[in-house]
Every structure is written in C-alpha cells, then in structure tokens.
Structure 1
Amino acid sequence: MCSQEPECFVFAFHGPSASTRKYFCYMWKSGTLKIKNSTGITSGYNLRGCQFKKPCFDEVYEGLKFSNRPYETVQTENPDQCREKCRQDQHCSFYTYYNEGSKCELKFTMPIPTPTFQRMDEVFSGFSNNLDEDFGSGEVCPSQLYRDKQLEGGRYPIKFSAISAQHCQALCNIYPECQVFKYYRNYVKGPNCYMKSETRLISEVITEHQGVTSGRVQKGCKVDFSWKNDVVNGSLSGSAFNVTVKADLECKKACNDEPNCLFYLYVSMNHPAVKHRGKCYLKRDLTLPRPNVFPRPGTVSGFVMNC
C-alpha cells in the first residue's frame, strides 16, 4: 500500500491493542525511520524504486475477520473451499470463512482507480491505456445507454466518480451488486455515477430526466474500456508522483509510457495560474484490497491468489 501511495515515504503496521482490537497501517510523507524495538509494530520504506508489480497474496490468516460487507455469502465445507470459491469468482478480492455455520463471505474492492473528477477550465485529464482490462469474457459489451432518461424505483446508494457515462457503465459492470446506474453529466464536482443493487426496487418505467444518462448492468460480455482513451476537461484528484513540463498531447503518452501511472492531469498554457502552465502530473491511486481487519476466533480470512 505504501508503495502504491505516491506520497508515502515510510510506514508502520500496528497489530491490535487491548483497547481497539484493530489493525492499522500508518503512512508518512517524509521523515527518517528511527529503528527501535516496539512490540506489535512493523515498519519500513516504500519500494517505488522498483517497477510496481501485482503482489502475490497467498497467505491464510487464521483467527482474523475481514469485516467488510460481503456481496455474496455461500456455504462451503472448509476454508480451502471458501478460498477456491473466491479465486474462481472474478469479483472476489478477499474472503472470510466462519467455522461455526460453515459460512463463506465473498468481498469486493474496486480494482481500478476511481479518483474524484471535478470539471475545470484549461485543465485536461485522462486514464492510462495500461489499465487492467481483464473483466468479463467474450465479445466487448455493446453500449446501451438512455440519454436524458432514468430508470424509476428507489434510491441509488452506491456512488463513484466517473468521467463519462461509458466509464460509469464500466464501473457498474465490474461492481458485483450493480443492477442499474445513472450518470449526471453536468455535475461539477463529487460523485456523479450512482448505482442500485436491489432488483425488487427496479422498475421497467423509464422517465425523462435532463442531464442524466442511465443504463443496466451488462453480463456475459467483456467490459468496454474504450473510455480510457478519452481526454476530458477537468481534474482527477490524487497525489502526483511525477511532474514535468510537456506539450498537451505528450502528457497522455508520458502516462502510457510510465508503468506506475494510472491517470494524469495536464494544465494548459492558458490557465490563469502561471506557475502551473504546461505542467503534466502523472498520478496513481490505491487499488489494492483494503479490508477492515479484526481478531476473531473461529474465522479464516485471505485474499484472492494472484500467484
């Protein structure tokens, strides 16, 4: 996590205390790591000097519960079967197995970056062409969108930030519980991609709604990532790990050529802030699964294996 976070210089991992019973990972932007004995704490530096590779998580954690809400709960005979169930499900990021009741909870973390998008003049942003596209199978999902319309029924409690309706649809197709979504085209800042998972509340009635593009989840096809080629007017939030002066068309290429870059921001030569003009900010975000971890006897937890 520290190596993925652009501003992290050193970290300290704390085991559970008698008061909190939680695990914590603390990160610092700068400083010197002073070595001293401290029970229950592991510290270190980031590894950004190396090309970041997808980590291999194959360890099983007995007596630990990953408390995030599951998107699916199934019965399995043992923890090994639960782990295998998670490994075979493309949505599953990590799992927790309960010995009592033989319950297996499958859990999810969005595996692609979802920085907040804010519309701004003379600022341009986009995503790297190197984003992982291994979601779904078969032919690429066709674009099926309802412009200036929305599907009626209930609230849309799941929220993300997207640069386009196609981006919002891709997030819906990746998110395991999404059934329908709506994208607010004119939002200036904040979440603009809303999803709903409760099928019983979804109506077939489609009503007019200016500024909204809606759609349904698409299954049995490969998620469309064509939106990552878009360059949009606005800013994608996140800490930059590299800042250079580039021409506008060179900034996206610089992001594509840098394996650690997930998205970028370019400030035009017409921007009112003179000191930022012509600057290209290469950025990344945390995409590793980040479960809430608690000690609990009788449980076994782990991550999907990428080994």
Structure 2
Amino acid sequence: RVQTTKYIVSGNKSCIGDVTQPTNLQKECQYESTKAIGESIDKYSSIPSVTLCKSICRHIQACQAFTYSRNTSTCTLLADAELSDRDHNYVTGHKSCDGYIPNCFVNDFEYSGTDVDVVKNVGHVQECQKLCQDIPYCFFWTYHSDIEQCTRKSSVRRIKHHSFATSGSRNCHDSIIKSVEFTGYGSLDQYVDVKTLDDCQQKCQEDYRCSFWNLYSISSNKSLKICETRYSYSDLAFNHNCKSGYKWNIFLPKHAKSIDCSWEGVKLQTGPLDLIEGRVFSHDQCQYFCRTKENCTFWSYHHKKGKCFLFDTNSMEHLKNDMGFISGPKYCDGTCYSKNVRFNAKKILTLNNVKSPVTCQSYCKREIQCKGFNYVRSTNICLLVKEGPKQYDSEVISGIKTCKAKEKNVFVNLKDCYDYGVDYKEGDIMQVNGIIAPWECQLECQKVQRCNHWTYKKKCLLKTDHKGLTYTLNKN
C-alpha cells in the first residue's frame, strides 16, 4: 500500500494571484469552511492535508477545483465547481495560482539522504538555496521555516512529509540520470505509448502515487520505449538502456551528476592517502579498494586513466569540479540503510559477531532468498530475512566478468548479470580467499587481465573461459 509520505508536492509556499478560474469561483486561492459541488473526477482517501489535495489537483489535467474534508481526510477533484453551503469541515479551492513553480521547490516535504552540514539562523528559503550554491559538494537542501534551519545535502534517497519544510536543489535546471534505473519494490505501471523523457515524466506527474520513473530503450527496436512509474525504490542499478528521473526535476549542479552514492565530475583535490597501483577498471572497484583500507573515507576515480585515489576523513572539505573524475564516500551511509527500522519478515539466518551493517548486507547479497537484513548494533547480530513462500539454496552464484544488459530482458538489474545455481567448469586461473560476496568476486575478476568469468562458491574462483555448466540449484 502506498503511504502518503511517498508523495512529492511542488509549488510556491505562498498562494498569490490566479491563473485559470473554475466556474463560479472567485479570484482567491482557497475558501475555508466552504464546500463545493460540481462534476466529480475522482476521490482520494487518507490524504493528510489540504496542501496535498491541492497538489493532486494540480497534477491532473482535467481537475479545475478541489474540496477537502478535514473530518474524513478525503480529497474530491472536480472538473467544474460552484460554492455550496458553509461547512467547517471542508476547504475548497481552485487548481493553481500565479507563482506556482513546480520545478524548483518541493513544499511540505523534507529530503532524507547524505547531509553535508546544518546552517542555523537562515531567514528564508531562497537564502538556503544560495547557501547550497556556495559549496561545490552541496546538490540538494531542506529548509525548516519553524526553526529557520538549512540542511545542505550531497544526495537524496527518500522524501518525507514535514509541515514546516521546503526542499529543493542547487539549481533550477532539468536533470536526467543516465544509464541508471530505479529498482526493487515500488513499481506502479508500465506504458509503451511514450516517445520522450518528458512524456515519461508526465506519466509520473499525472499519477499522484508516483515519485520516480524509468524510461527503457529496447536495443532490438530503437523506436520502442517503455516507461515505468514507481512510488519508491530500494536500489539503483547500472543499465545502458535506461534513463531515470523524479516526478519533479530534482536538479544537480551544472558540472556534476549523481551515480548512486557517487558524484561524476567531482575531484578531491587534497593529497591522497594512497594510490592503487595498476589499472582500476571501474569506480565501483575503486570504492571497493577504499572499503578494504581502514583509514580511507573518500575516493576519486579517473575513468580514462583507470587511476584510483584513496583519501582520509578530511577530504570532504576539498571537493572541486573536474570532469575527468568520479568521486564518492567509502560507504553509502545514510542513503543505503534505513536506521531505526526493522524488517518484520520471516527469518532465514542469524549471524553473530558481524562487525558492521555493510558486512551484514554482504551476507544478504550472498543468499539468493535474502530480501533484506536487520543489523543490531548493540549486539553485532545480523538477521537475514526474506519475502514470499519460495525456498532457495544460494551455495553457488556465478557470473560473467562485465555486467551487461540482456537484450531479451528490458528490466535489467544486478541479478541479471549472475547465473544463480550454476557452476562454471574448467578454465581456472586462481582462487581468491577472503571474499564474502559474489560482487566482490566479480571485482577480483576485473582486476585480472586474463579473467573473463568467475564462480563464487563460498570462495572466489577466477576463470579464463568455461567449457560447461553444472546446475546445482533447484528453484522450484
């Protein structure tokens, strides 16, 4: 079920002037203690505020007015309307007012993600946006008017309802996330009658439940595109055939774009803690090296030269734009995990003495049936949980060296790069010990020039080519 906290609401905080008037409504934004009657388009229950009801009307082309019941939290959309009797339980208003800017600010919602810092005693929302523009690694911001506080952020992962919050981005320019798709739970609908990115975004804007969208191009048919709308997502996956975005444009700075937990076009300019010898094949691999080094907190990867630079905890102060680099933090802390949240699902396995949620997540990635994990910080216990009735055995996971999209499958995620329950035979180069997850085995393969395939079976085996397959997993 979609929760109201997933909605995105855009617009100005103040209601000024008018645009198009519905029948018999005066030139005001809304009427307190007043009910309207007219041709009803749709009715929505469990709507928490007048603001959200008004925003739903704004996002639906046929809606010209709305009536909101405070008693029942019901929002009724109207094609035309006239004022009826006074009723203290109702608020009535028309669709829009002058100054409505859907692309710049998100009112009554706060962004949850990676915070850069908090600035207090900020007088207004425009000042908060200016403060974000003053530093190179602020991409988003949230302003709380009740306490005059501005939170500068480097990334956004969730959007939550907050009555006194206004959020936005560094600049007001369109942003599209290329070669990345929103994956996991939260899919709504799929459309084939789309031609452009704007068409797909409009599909999302027309559905009050939608917050994110993916537009897929089909390799075998370039004229065919599929638009997927979503109310949420659990992960981001690399996909050459996909472009994604938000319901309303959440904008990135002109010379940088987000790649999951990383920033493209950003370099850390202080002296590095370490330089990895030899060629590093991807920014994911560079992040992996950072994770294996105790003092590393941030990393920078030069994709043309294949160089990986590791940095210590002071590096965040020295970010600058550089189009040759991709940079990011050691972990996706604050964006990948939901703190103070427990999955109430059937338990698969309990692991003791697990040192961090990252390690716990790695064990989950190793188990095919695992859909999530609970990490108890006080006891260092890792609980792996699953969904659905199917039982799986994850002893063997294999995959190719490079994770490429399968043309026969439009919706590609990391699992499509792996052959679960398949053991690649022969062609062994070497065995790598100390590997706790299949994606780490894949990274080890990428480091060895002769390696083209790998098999993970509680240990990592690197291979040139394979001459046969052995199926060891029964999914039925």
TM score, norm. by length of structure 1: 0.31
Larger Rg: 2
Query: When you count strand as a share of all residues, which structure comes out higher?
Result: 2
TM score, norm. by length of structure 2: 0.22
